[in-house]
Amino acid sequence: MAEIRLEGVSKKYSPKDSTYAVEHLTYTIPDGDFVSLLGPSGCGKSTTLNMIAGLESVTDGSIIVDGSAVEDLEPHKRDLAFVFQDYALYPHLSVADNIAFGLKMRRMPKAEIRRRVKDAAERLELEGLLRRKPKALSGGQRQRVALARAIARRPGVLLFDEPLSNLDALLRDRTRAELKMLHADIGSTSVYVTHDQEEAMSLSDRIAVMSKGRLEQYGTPSDIYLRPATEFVAGFVGKPRMNILDGDVVERGRVRLRGTRVVVDAGTNLGDRTHVRLGLRPAECSLSTVSEADADGTVVVAEPLGNATDILVRIGGDNFIVRAAGFSDLRPGDPVRIDAAGVAVHLFDAETGDRISE
């Protein structure tokens, strides 16, 4: 296992380019932790992973693994293994030979190779597939072979680049659970790239949320969800996404959701602000049917999900989502009032997008 520290790590693809692909990343991945790099496409998360792996050079800063700077080391000299999105299996080799390939390249004794292949295959339920070629495997089986190949090396660091994105929804959920159990079993420090916030929340000890090459927030899943540091994090993490709308300060510690009668207790020192951005989680709000004269908005669409219904309400020029338990009788065009009494309120500076501290 290994601790990883990023100290001011930046990446430019051209010295003449003023735009950073990754800009001044500084955080620590503790020994044995599972950390996800989360963000939309183009935010720099895969570039960050590739710099840790040595597949991309570092423009500025340092990557320190177990107390030693590694940014100038070749990838094969770093104690890590990589699991790719497209599996990267050798089609002409059997499952057993794919798992053993990296061990053979290190000239490991044959008896030790056999032992490690057997152990990795048992962990990932591949014992009956060792003689097959990759073309005879399902997508989930191929992904498990790629994982087995990585853990057979017993590296200090495991790197994952969106390894579940090619799987269907049911298989992705199952493999995600297997991956979490595997990490608990082997304990390697793991860095996992994903754009899927559910994957990041369910798998991770800590999450690094990125946007436009910068770190927006680094913390535990509960930190990220309960106290998003920026408006971007608030809107990106959570399903359905947080409602973030304009709010007007009507009196000390109280904010009105613009275009509605909804007034919430901010519980925050707002200083001399008269305008803020107000965030409310859909599952914490509720709706009631009222007359058009008393309504905050009208229902646009209701999406039944079985155990819940997501209801989209139009408020002036904005959309507001409420997640109601079970099935709902609300229909498009119904006038409704939003009840946000007693819910957790997230306030962000209207100019910077940063969280307003309590």
Residues 157 and 269 in one domain: no
Contact 4, 158 (CB under 8 A): no
356 domain-assigned: no
Once rounded to an integer, what is the mean pLDDT over residues 90-110? 92
358 domain-assigned: no
- Going by C-alpha positions, the residue among 41, 21, 2, 54 that lies closest to residue 162 is 41
Residues 201 and 240 in one domain: no
Band of residue 334 on the pLDDT scale cut at 50, 70, 90: very high
Residues 344 and 210 in one domain: no
Residues 219 and 241 in one domain: no
- Of the three residues 195, 212, 234, the one that is the final residue of a domain is 234
Residues 205 and 251 in one domain: no
Give pLDDT tens digits for 154-174: 888 999 998 888 777 877 888
354 domain-assigned: no
CATH number at residue 265: 2.40.50.140
Once rounded to an integer, what is the mean pLDDT over residues 269-295? 92
pTM of the model: 0.89
- Going by C-alpha positions, the residue among 250, 253, 252, 240 that lies closest to residue 320 is 240
357 domain-assigned: no
The answer on pLDDT for 358 being more than 90 is: no
Mean pLDDT of the chain: 91
The answer on pLDDT for 268 being more than 80 is: no
Q: How distant is the alpha carbon of residue 304 from its chain centre?
A: 26
Domain span at residue 297 reads 235-349
The answer on pLDDT for 100 being more than 70 is: yes
Contact 224, 191 (CB under 8 A): no
Contact 58, 51 (CB under 8 A): yes
Residues 93 and 214 in one domain: yes
The answer on pLDDT for 311 being more than 70 is: yes
9 domain-assigned: yes
CATH number at residue 62: 3.40.50.300
Give pLDDT tens digits for 2-58: 899 999 999 998 877 778 999 999 999 999 999 999 999 999 999 999 999 999 999
Band of residue 85 on the pLDDT scale cut at 50, 70, 90: confident
103 domain-assigned: yes
Residues 132 and 192 in one domain: yes
- Of the three residues 234, 250, 273, the one that is the final residue of a domain is 234
| Position with higher pLDDT, 285 vs 317 | 285
Once rounded to an integer, what is the mean pLDDT over residues 206-228? 97
* Residue percentage of the chain with pLDDT more than 90: 67
Once rounded to an integer, what is the mean pLDDT over residues 82-101? 90
Residues 24 and 160 in one domain: yes
Which ranges of the chain would DSSP assign to H, the alpha helix? 45-53, 95-105, 110-123, 139-152, 169-186, 197-203, 221-226, 231-236
What contacts 305, CB < 8 A, 6 or more positions away? none
274 domain-assigned: yes
291 domain-assigned: yes
The answer on pLDDT for 153 being more than 90 is: no
Structure tokens at 343: 């819910």
How many angstroms separate the CA atoms of 284 and 296, rounded?
Answer: 17
pLDDT value at position 1? 63
Residues 215 and 252 in one domain: no
pLDDT value at position 245? 94
Domain count, the chain: 2
What letter does residue 134 receive in the DSSP assignment? G
The answer on pLDDT for 341 being more than 90 is: no
Residues 216 and 241 in one domain: no
Residues 288 and 197 in one domain: no
Residues 202 and 240 in one domain: no
- Of the three residues 189, 212, 234, the one that is the final residue of a domain is 234
